[in-house]
């Protein structure tokens, strides 16, 4: 089989018409290059260079191979440059998705700082909270998935970004507004406002209501965190949301945010990446940036 290095040798011989000049361009001795040429001819069983004339002239077989080199080598060089860019963090793609709407609402402001550090990286934010994005991470359509739901998935590595607290957003005049915290039984008669995802992916069910054997009176869904907060403020139900999502409305006095349970319900936001690619500079750089910035809440301001 002919390899890329052999194609380069023959291409340079054709370009320079000289074994000496071709060897210099390849940073080889003339003897080493002549040996490579003889090996190539022996491997193919056909002469590639007419050695009887000066400057050297390729045979018809040699010209066939140089035509192949003219097509292949630019593609090889372009691909190698892209690989160097990935290795050095000069290029790449960051296709980002979140398993919760609030994940993306938090991360979008971070991308300006990321762009300053990795200006040539292609950015793509995929709104996929109603889907399971991990299969698309594994098949290469996504590069990073933000989720509070860490689970064992072969080929995926997980990085903790920050810990946060879930709050119950209620209207300022709601019967639970004055409570420091609520118990599962307090939600049994309520309309629970949630994202349009399976209940098995919502902490308010899996870690709060279901362990107590309870369900809310009604479940109503909304596509965005902002709409969930607005519906809660308008007394259309109650919503279990991350502390940073409710911070502005709470500070404005539009909602109250009792904790879920006496100890509070804490969760961790994780970044999921493909194993084997997580140390690439443009992906590791995103994780480092995300780990360094916690969303602002009224009772837990960000560092710095």
Q: What is the pLDDT of residues 135-161, one digit of tens each?
A: 999 999 999 999 888 888 999 999 999
pLDDT level of residue 298 (50, 70, 90 thresholds): very low
Structure-block tokens of residue 283: 């992906």
CA 187-188-192 angle, 5° bins: 55
Higher-confidence residue of 297 and 177: namely 177
Structure-block tokens of residue 148: 């509070």
Q: What is the pLDDT of residues 49-88, one digit of tens each?
A: 998 788 889 999 999 999 999 999 999 999 998 888 888 8
Q: Is 18 helix (H, G, I), strand (E, B) or coil?
A: coil
> Please, where are the H alpha helices in 162-212?
203
Number of neighbours of residue 30 by Cβ within 10 angstroms: 14
Q: What is the pLDDT of residues 203-240, one digit of tens each?
A: 999 999 999 999 999 999 998 888 999 999 999 999 99
Q: What pLDDT, on a 0 to 100 scale, did the predictor assign at position 195?
A: 86
Q: What pLDDT, on a 0 to 100 scale, did the predictor assign at position 87?
A: 85
Query: 93-161+267-291 belongs to which CATH class?
Result: alpha beta
Distance CA 46, CA 190 (A): 85
Does position 190 have pLDDT exceeding 70, yes or no? Answer: yes
Q: What pLDDT, on a 0 to 100 scale, did the predictor assign at position 253?
A: 93
Give the position of tokens 């809310």: 216
Across 199-206, average pLDDT: 91
Cα of 21 vs its chain's centroid, Å: 47
Does position 302 have pLDDT exceeding 90, yes or no? Answer: no
Instruction: Assess contact for 296 and 247: CB atoms under 8 A.
Output: yes
Percent of the chain with pLDDT over 90: 68
Of the candidates 70, 49, 69, 71, which has an alpha carbon nearest to the alpha carbon of residue 60?
49
Across 96-108, average pLDDT: 77
Please determine, looking at this structure, whether the domain spanning 164-266 carries the CATH number 3.40.190.10: yes
Q: Where are the chain's structural domains?
A: 4-87, 93-161+267-291, 164-266
Does position 130 have pLDDT exceeding 60, yes or no? Answer: no
CA 187-201-146 angle, 5° bins: 125
Assess whether the region 93-161+267-291 and the region 164-266 belong to the same CATH fold. Answer: yes
Task: Write out the DSSP string of 238-259.
Answer: EEEEEHHHHHHHHHTTSEE--E
Distance CA 80, CA 113 (A): 28
How far CA 281 is from CA of 41, 120, 285, in Å, comes to 43, 12, 6
Q: What pLDDT, on a 0 to 100 scale, did the predictor assign at position 51?
A: 83
Q: What mean pLDDT value characterizes the chain?
A: 89
Structure-block tokens of residue 122: 């292609």
pLDDT level of residue 297 (50, 70, 90 thresholds): low
Q: Which CATH number applies to 4-87?
A: 1.10.10.10
Structure-block tokens of residue 142: 């996504």
Task: Write out the DSSP string of 219-230.
Answer: EEE-SSHHHHHH
pTM score, two decimals? Answer: 0.73
Q: What pLDDT, on a 0 to 100 scale, did the predictor assign at position 88?
A: 84
Q: What pLDDT, on a 0 to 100 scale, did the predictor assign at position 296?
A: 62
């Amino acid at each position: 089989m002919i390899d890329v290095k052999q194609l380069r040798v023959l291409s340079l011989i054709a370009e320079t018409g000289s074994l000496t000049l071709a060897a210099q361009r390849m940073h080889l001795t003339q003897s080493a290059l002549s040996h490579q040429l003889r090996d190539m001819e022996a491997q193919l069983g056909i002469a590639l260079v007419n050695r009887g004339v000066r400057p050297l002239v390729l045979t018809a077989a040699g010209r066939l191979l140089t035509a192949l080199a003219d097509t292949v080598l630019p593609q090889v060089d372009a691909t190698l440059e892209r690989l160097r860019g990935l290795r050095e963090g000069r290029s790449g793609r960051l296709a980002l998705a979140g398993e919760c709407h609030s994940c993306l609402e938090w991360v979008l402001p971070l991308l300006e700082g990321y762009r300053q550090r990795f200006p040539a990286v292609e950015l793509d934010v995929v709104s996929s909270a109603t889907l399971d994005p991990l299969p698309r991470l594994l098949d290469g359509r996504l590069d990073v998935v933000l989720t509070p739901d860490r689970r064992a998935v072969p080929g995926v590595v997980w990085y903790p970004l920050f810990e946060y607290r879930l709050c119950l957003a209620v209207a300022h005049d709601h019967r639970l507004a004055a409570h420091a915290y609520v118990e599962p039984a307090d939600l049994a008669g309520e309309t629970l406002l949630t994202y349009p995802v399976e209940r098995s992916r919502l902490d308010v069910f899996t870690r709060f209501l279901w362990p107590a054997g309870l369900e809310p009176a009604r479940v109503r869904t909304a596509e965005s965190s902002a709409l969930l907060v607005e519906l809660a403020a308008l007394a259309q139900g109650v919503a279990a949301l991350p502390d940073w999502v409710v911070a502005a409305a709470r500070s404005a006095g539009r909602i109250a945010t009792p904790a879920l349970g006496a100890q509070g319900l804490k969760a961790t936001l994780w970044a999921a990446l493909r194993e084997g690619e997580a140390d690439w500079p443009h992906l590791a750089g995103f994780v480092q940036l995300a780990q360094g910035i916690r969303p602002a809440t009224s009772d837990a301001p960000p560092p710095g």
